[in-house]
Amino acid sequence: MSERWARAALTAYRYAGAVAYPLIGPYVAWRASRGKEDRARRRERYGVAGRPRPEGPVIWIHAASVGETIAVVPLVESILDYGVNIVLTTGTVTSAKVAEERLGSRIIHQYVPLDLKPAVSRFLDHWRPELAIIAESEIWPMTILELGARNVPQVLVNGRLSDRSFMSWKKRAGVAEALFENLAHVIAQSDVDGERFRALGARPVTVSGNLKVDTNPPPVDERALATLQRQIGGRPTWAAISTHDGEEVVAAEVHASLHRRHHGLLTIIVPRHPDRADALAAQISGMGLSVARRSKGDRISHDTDILLGDTIGEMGLYLRLTEIAFVGRSLTSQGGQNPLEPAMLETAVLAGRNVQNFREAYQRLLDSGGAKLVRDRDMLTGAVNFLLTNEAARHEMMAAGAATVDEMRGALARTLKSLEPYIQPLVVKARLKGANGR
């Protein structure tokens, strides 16, 4: 959230209470209206509960989207083992599906309330959480302030501040300190993130590592995998995953440059936003390449050039079809996407140089030889060609990446240790209530 909105929310909360609604309402409503909502459950975004509150202590855990949801699943499962109720909020339909698939009825899922005082208050009045755990890189002022006003401990886990966010907050140090002083604890991903949170006034801050490292590899439908593997046969493959605007065309151009050199080459393109698939298919077909779309159930024939992975939740499938993956939002866009999933599935990782959002993960992979950064399309073409041609070098990269992920594990245990002082009193309370109930 921009600092202008944060300042407006903070000022409105302190001096005019519900006046925050007209001040930040238009911005938040716009954020929430971009095709990410379940219309049948829209009222949840205004804090109207879709379920009754269970008896006993409740922990509210928030994960914004798919990546954060996947990252907190092991954490949620560990806390559930203590016998404490969990309300898990997410912000998108896709992340809600992930929560349903991986956690089912063990948790109560709700869509996160808009960061408006009436919505947040309504949500908190109903659920009355005794602890809030937030796995989120964005800062929501009204939610933080409302929890603070109710003396609900709130802990930021897997905390990260991008270069841009940190510089923006630093220019408004007073606003940042007024918000971050409400956090009971910040558990940061890296030493750099930890220092940034401390510089903005957060106390205490500990460093856990990235929770995404302690997740399981993305799942796969074995039947679908076997079907696609039969269709592909022994053809050489490489993938461009989590791509953003412009990177799909780059991948198609790489394919056009290499397909004569590597007979039968199949390029797998998985856009970060599958809703762009119609335009991408038309654009790539216009380059004279044959496209098979996963969402349409198109068969991969001998003359298929591009498999367009325009589905959600099948990254585990696409990554198991190749040993080389370019990870997007790094060549024509800024920030990068998570390289840990391909690495843990023993895939040689390539990326552009704009990987600031996953700096530590990429640095570890680069140091071990599990990843390589490329400057432009021509360098990407050369890197893919080299890996397709040199099996030994490719397998060395694959093994190095998987080993690096194994070495990075441990964030979950460190996070649980930091959370223990906040969770244990609730565990005792839940057990006492259960004993009294019997």
Q: Which residues of 146-161 are buried (b: 16+ CB within 10 A; e: fewer)?
A: bbbeeebbbbbbbbbb
Q: Residue 266: left if φ>0, alpha if ψ -120 to 50, beta else—which one?
A: beta
Q: What is the DSSP letter of 209?
A: -
Q: Is 132 helix (H, G, I), strand (E, B) or coil?
A: strand
Q: What order of strands is seen across the sheet that includes strand 291-293?
A: 291-293, 306-308, 266-271, 237-243, 324-327, 348-351, 371-373
Give 191: exposed, middle or buried? Use CB within 10 Å, 0-12, 13-18, 19+: exposed
C-alpha span between 267 and 256 (Å, rounded): 10
Residue 437 and residue 401 in contact, taking contact as beta carbons nearer than 8 Å: no
Cβ(187)–Cβ(216) under 8 Å? no
Q: Which helix (H) or strand (E) holds 268?
A: strand 266-271
Instruction: Indicate the SS3 state at residue 176.
Output: helix
Beta-strand runs (E) in 295-407:
306-308, 324-327, 348-351, 371-373
Signed CA dihedral, 122, 126, 132, 135: sign only: negative
- Measure the CA–CA gap between 261 and 418, rounded to whole angstroms: 53
Cβ neighbour number for residue 176 with a 10 Å cutoff: 23
- Residues tagged active-site: 68
According to DSSP, the residues that pair with 108 across neighbouring strands are 87
Cα separation, 176 vs 375, whole angstroms: 36
**CA 118/CA 28 separation, integer angstroms:** 13
Strand, coil or helix: what is 334? coil
